[in-house]
Amino acid sequence: MKQNKWRTHHSEGARRIIVTKDLPGRRWLEILAEADCRIDICTSEETLHRQEILAFIGNQCDGAIGQLTESWGETLFKALKKAGGTAYSNYAVGFNNVDVAAATRHNIPVGNTPGVLTETTAEMAVALTFAVARRTGEAERFMRAGKFKGWLPDLFTGHLLWRKTLGIVGAGRIGEAYARMMVEGHKMNVIYYDLHANQALEIFIADYSRFLESQGQSGVTCKRVLNIEDLLLQADCVSIHTILDDSTRHLFNADRLAKMKTDAILINTSRGPVIDESALVDHCRANPDFRAGLDVFEDEPAMKPGLADLDNVVVVPHIASATRWTREGMATLAACNVAGILLGHPLWQQSEILPFLENEPPKAIPSIVNAEILGKKSLSIVSRHNMNRFNEQTEV
């Protein structure tokens, strides 16, 4: 490991935290420093391999903040525990890169960063939707290449989504936010597929429909379907907002893609492996009016052969959460997760996490994905252990 890959903040801290990528903003550093942590940060833009992380965990490490590009499993959590670590947070809302069961076996809470990505990611899904529908990527390349010779009636004609049918796969926070944006802005009817009914979304759209009708306009509808095939057959545009697990890997395979309208739009801002990317390439080649917008990829950062050559696919490099407010907020939440565990704070019991982004964040742990499995008793044992270590270190 090159020594210049790392820098240290608050070197006098009694506890040691490793952070595998430099994070935006300063508040997260202040939070960890206030928890008496020395913060060792990797400054390289390259993805760290497991052996590099192991080497940097070393013999003394109280906690870590990792990235969704890294696989945190048995080996790393065993090493973290052996080094005295009791806290880990993913710098992401998703945690499919983390073996939560392995962390739980070593009694290590796994934090994540929900709540600050919702509107930001939904906005990117909207941006991709219209980039695809209005063929802006193709048109820009055409313009930059000097091919534009004047207005033509059929030049880059695309899709009008006004009053069309929108399909949502995964109607959680982000899926709901995206649906609301498309309904309010473009009067689309919504169908959604989710294991659980989203009553808040259904009530909102019903209320909005009544408002439209009071203004002399046609209303809008929202309904839940019990199988994804029903959604694919009806939707003009399908946006994916599901988690990645064994049940959703290759959820969109060749058979399901074939059930979609030949001129449908498919948007993915969730996780790449939800789509069989090779099947998508074949489908887009066979159906030139079918269009896709992708922020995530199956073998990220690589794309399956042929994907980059398709004009009917818009691709961006995993930037759905890339606003400064969101990325700094994610860093703050990750730091609050780690600091909260080390300081013995209780779990946050409210769904709203924005108080953690204020000047004086609550003395609580924002989000632990394995809290229920660990149990409050286990978390309190972890917290007491850390407080005892802190007292011993500060007394010396």
Is there a catalytic annotation at residue 300?
A: yes
Of the candidates 13, 98, 15, the one whose C-alpha atom is nearest the C-alpha of residue 53 is: 98
Identify the active-site residue in 27, 318, 327, 345: 318
Identify the active-site residue in 123, 202, 229, 300: 300
Cβ-proximal residues to 196 (8 Å cutoff; 6+ apart), any chain:
none
- Report how far residue 221's alpha carbon sits from residue 301's, in angstroms, rounded to the nearest whole number: 38
Q: Are residues 42 and 7 in contact, defined by beta-carbon separation less than 8 angstroms? A: no
Structure-derived torsion over alpha carbons of residues 64, 321, 229, 285, reported in degrees to the nearest 10:
-110
How far are the Cα atoms of 116, 123, 175, 195, 344 from residue 200, in angstroms, in the given order?
19, 20, 12, 15, 35
What is the separation of C-alpha 52 from the centre of its chain, rounded to a whole number of angstroms? Answer: 25
What is the separation of C-alpha 94 from the centre of its chain, rounded to a whole number of angstroms? Answer: 5
Identify the active-site residue in 38, 271, 283, 345: 271
Of the candidates 220, 256, 254, the one whose C-alpha atom is nearest the C-alpha of residue 238 is: 256
Cβ count near 339 (within 10 Å): 26
Give the catalytic positions in this structure: 271, 300, 318
